[in-house]
Structure 1
Amino acid sequence: MITKEKPRMGMYENVKHQYEKAADLMNLTPAVRKILAITNNEIVVHFPVKMDDGSVEVFTGYRVQHNNALGPYKGGLRYHPTVDIDAARALATWMTWKTSLAGLPYGGGKGGIQLDPSKYSISELERITRRFTYALGDNIGPEHDIPAPDVNTTPQMMAWIADTYMSTKSTNERTKNAHVVTGKPVGAGGLEGRDRATGFGVVVSIKEWAKLKSYDLRGMRYIVQGFGNVGFWASHFMKQHGAILVGVQDASGTIYNADGIDPDQLIVYAQGNNHHISGFPQASEYPTSDFFALDCDIIIPAAMGNQITGENAETIKAMMIAEGANGPVDVEADSILFERNIDVIPDIYCNSGGVIGSYFEWLQNRNGELWQMDEVLTKLESKMGQSFKKLLNTANEFHTDWRTSAYIEAIRRIEQAYIQRGIFP
């Protein structure tokens, strides 16, 4: 079973450690270093919502805006019991690095509501989402802060946010605000292919790694933690390249089949099993605590943060870890994996397909265009290919690991913006 994130016990500390390591190595300008070490704004809202039975619950929502030197804040909203201010700080900071590394005109933001959405009806979730949007008010906006889906949030929820936000504007302004969120359903202004963009990007990063190492993905064995949007689509595209899925873990348990698990069959089963993989007839149950020690070539952690730690990093047999989730490998594990020559494709590059897809949707809405899926995926792959080359060049320049080089490349772009425009006043 997937362990919960523990933001008070390390996630934000991990982010700060990674930042300081990169800042030291690149000799970051002192003034910029101080600015990027803290968040710009931290919004906490408490709001009441009437439940289906007539009772009222008060929810706590968060939106942390880390930095906007390169453009509007950009980042997801998650609905999860672990959401708190530290988690939002960590995730917002990662978004700043992610958008910068991808070369997008965005900064970083993140937030959500501290709740378990499985405990609420669809109508209750709609009222919670709309009331949260209203509570945030002008703290979000299409040229200021642009939310997107994240853990346990959906395209439908993004449509509710867009509709609620636009409903607060004058008639003349409503049509200009559709790009206040991305990740909307296609019929509500969403982008063809946005649903698979993150998982597709994870596989693009794996292909870049395989090309660098002169490996053939056909026949490679891999395991996936988390079988939601990212985990499924990553598995779907890995299957197209001939890789073999042998193990999957989600909150309901762990399954294994040495001969392979068909991800397309598994998703159909999970959708009919309350989105749980447990009991899948074409695989066997497997001890949860031994998941990362499975015999495989590639691990794709696509669930929550702090899953690969100092406690289990020594047991890993894979050659490579592709971080589909944000912060799935903690600092201690990072050091162990580096010493063991296990490659880690860092999250701010590996799972950036989602925010790149969001950028395409934002442009589509802003310019009144309609993009086709083939065009979206082709542009996404090209952009991620460019980022991988930068990551490798920077790693060679500073003689460092890929995560630190990704941070340096991201931070340099922001540093340049501050140097060129100055610091107000």
Structure 2
Amino acid sequence: MTLTKELKQKEQPKQGMLENVMKQFNAAAELVDLNPNIKKILEVTNNELIIHFPVRMDNGEVEIFKGYRVQHNNALGPYKGGLRYHPTIDIDSVKALAMWMTWKTSLAGLPYGGAKGGIQIDPKKYSNSELERITRRFTYALGENIGPEHDIPAPDVNTNAQTMAWIADTYMSTKAPSERSKNQHVVTGKPVGSGGLEGRDRATGFGVFLTIKFWAENKKIDLSGKTFIVQGFGNVGYWAAHFLELEGAKMVGVQDAFGTIVNPEGISVEGLFDFSKNNSGNFIGFPNSSSIAKEDFFSLDCDICIPAALGNQITAENAPFIKAFLVAEGANGPTTVEAEQILLSRGIEVIPDILCNSGGVIGSYFEWLQNRNGELWELEEILVRLNKKMSEVFKKVLKASEEKGIDMRSAAYVIAIERIEKAYIQRGIFP
């Protein structure tokens, strides 16, 4: 193997995410002087499921797919975490994402543990009817490994409300007629007409915006007129940009799988959204914008950088060139440990993923409660509740950061891990 190939392999996100989350966990465990026996429990997953399942394609041929579900920890409640459809998924990346979910739900004060899953697939290569069959067959294969009081999936990369509706319907169909309505909350992120929550589509992006707003208010910075760039113009990136634009901030650069566009004078968030929607998600060619090389994205002139795509995007290689004064992590694990050290040394602050993008799982909790209790919540009420919850969590992290003299990620981890440790100490370990 040549040195170039070796370096390229090391740069692949799927190979580094687990190492990244373990470095973060170990550093936080030292800060809180975590009980060594509890540390042994938290540094491994409870369950890891790999499923190979057949699905008949539109042309009549059968294709075999590989699916995953990793349940990291449930000391605080049922496992909770999304399902992503992406060709780079492997067991290590899912384990890393499941661990992040454990810290995220604990930090938010939710009665959940952490899980993650998905299918190793490029969904663009399949028809809608094929994706439905793939999703339903995967759900059937998961069987009792998921459940409304056991493990509750949600949307993630390349999955959406429709995906969740298929899962819910398939899972409910396996139950006796009298039990079906009691299992509607087996997933969250469903369409509103199928038991979903008003505003769940924007909850994660709205949460990203809120943490930026809270941070700016604490620093006495006016967001009006500030510039920002967004990596990933999907659900999270779009809604974060939408609310920032309403606040008077200006989007000057966007990147996703199709390419990278810039305009120092500003890119209309709604205009770009409509343009990409009419072009199968592709925004290249948007009026009054120019395309640049992928590797030049993070060096763009801006005040705020929002990585809202995949993991390990901000690395030791590009971190020295970031010009923003704030990185708000809309994605899970977008910044490597080494990159964050560079950013912090340069005076660039980072709002960590387990805080910044927790609006999604908080919204999922609201939907789960709504289904469980047979209630209907209105959008205005939901956004007020989300604002209140995220404000409380942000203040806790900020206080811990200032009191202990540590960065925000370390503070968030300290709060999350101490809550889980307390649960184990109080309950003991069976037998």
Q: Does TM-score exceed 0.5, indicating one fold?
A: yes
Instruction: Find the residue that maps to 2:355 and give its secondary structure.
Output: helix
Is 1:28 matched up with 2:54? Answer: no
1:176 paired residue number: 182
- How far apart are the structure 1 equivalents of 2:14 and 2:113? 24
1:396 offset after TM fit, Å? 2.6
- CA deviation vs aligned residue, 1:53-104 (integer Å, no higher than 9, x gap): 0000000000000000000000000000011100100000000000000010
- CA deviation vs aligned residue, 1:83-132 (integer Å, no higher than 9, x gap): 11001000000000000000100000000000000000000000000000
2:132 paired residue number: 126
Is 1:65 matched up with 2:71? Answer: yes
- Alignment coverage as a number of residue pairs: 423
1:79 paired residue number: 85
Instruction: Find the residue that maps to 1:190 and give its secondary structure.
Output: coil
1:248 paired residue number: 254
- How far apart are the structure 2 equivalents of 1:272 and 1:75? 31
Query: Which residue, out of 368, 375, 386, partners 1:369?
Result: 375
Instruction: Find the residue that maps to 2:185 and give its secondary structure.
Output: helix
- How far apart are the structure 1 equivalents of 2:288 and 2:359? 31
Change in 2 beyond 3 A, CA 1:8/1:202: closer
Structure 1 stretch displaced more, 274-283 or 315-324: 274-283
Instruction: Find the residue that maps to 1:10 and give its secondary structure.
Output: helix
1:216 paired residue number: 222
2:426 paired residue number: 420
Q: Please tell me the residue identity of whatever aligns with 2:126.
A: Y
RMSD: 1.1
- CA deviation vs aligned residue, 1:339-391 (integer Å, no higher than 9, x gap): 01100000000000000000000000000000111111111111111111111
1:395 offset after TM fit, Å? 1.5
- CA deviation vs aligned residue, 1:243-290 (integer Å, no higher than 9, x gap): 000100111111111111111010110011111111111311122211
1:292 paired residue number: 298
Query: Which residue, out of 248, 261, 264, partners 2:270?
Result: 264
Matches within 5 A, 1:102-181: 102-181=108-187
1:305 paired residue number: 311
Structure 1 stretch displaced more, 276-285 or 202-211: 276-285
Is 1:317 matched up with 2:304? Answer: no
Q: Do the aligned partners of 2:14 and 2:88 also contact (CA within 8 Å) in 1?
A: no
Q: Do the aligned partners of 1:25 and 1:398 also contact (CA within 8 Å) in 2?
A: no
Instruction: Find the residue that maps to 1:215 and give its secondary structure.
Output: coil
Query: Which residue, out of 207, 226, 231, partners 2:213?
Result: 207
Q: Percent identity?
A: 68
1:398 paired residue number: 404
- How far apart are the structure 1 equivalents of 2:75 and 2:237? 32
Q: Do the aligned partners of 1:14 and 1:331 also contact (CA within 8 Å) in 2?
A: yes
Gaps of 5+ in 1: none
Instruction: Find the residue that maps to 2:310 and give its secondary structure.
Output: coil
Q: Please tell me the residue identity of whatever aligns with 1:15.
A: V
Instruction: Find the residue that maps to 1:96 and give its secondary structure.
Output: helix
Structure 1 stretch displaced more, 384-393 or 181-190: 384-393
In the TM superposition, structure 1's runs of 4+ consecutive aligned residues that sit over 4 Å from their partners are: none
Q: Do the aligned partners of 1:7 and 1:86 also contact (CA within 8 Å) in 2?
A: no
2:97 paired residue number: 91
- How far apart are the structure 1 equivalents of 2:57 and 2:246? 44
- How far apart are the structure 2 equivalents of 1:8 and 1:306? 8
Q: Please tell me the residue identity of whatever aligns with 1:24.
A: E
- How far apart are the structure 2 equivalents of 1:13 and 1:397? 29
Q: Please tell me the residue identity of whatever aligns with 2:197.
A: L
Change in 2 beyond 3 A, CA 1:8/1:226: closer
1:171 offset after TM fit, Å? 1.1
- CA deviation vs aligned residue, 1:176-198 (integer Å, no higher than 9, x gap): 00000000000000000000000
- How far apart are the structure 1 equivalents of 2:50 and 2:145? 11
Q: Please tell me the residue identity of whatever aligns with 2:338.
A: E
1:394 offset after TM fit, Å? 1.6
2:24 paired residue number: 18
- How far apart are the structure 2 equivalents of 1:8 and 1:183? 25
Instruction: Find the residue that maps to 2:27 and give its secondary structure.
Output: helix
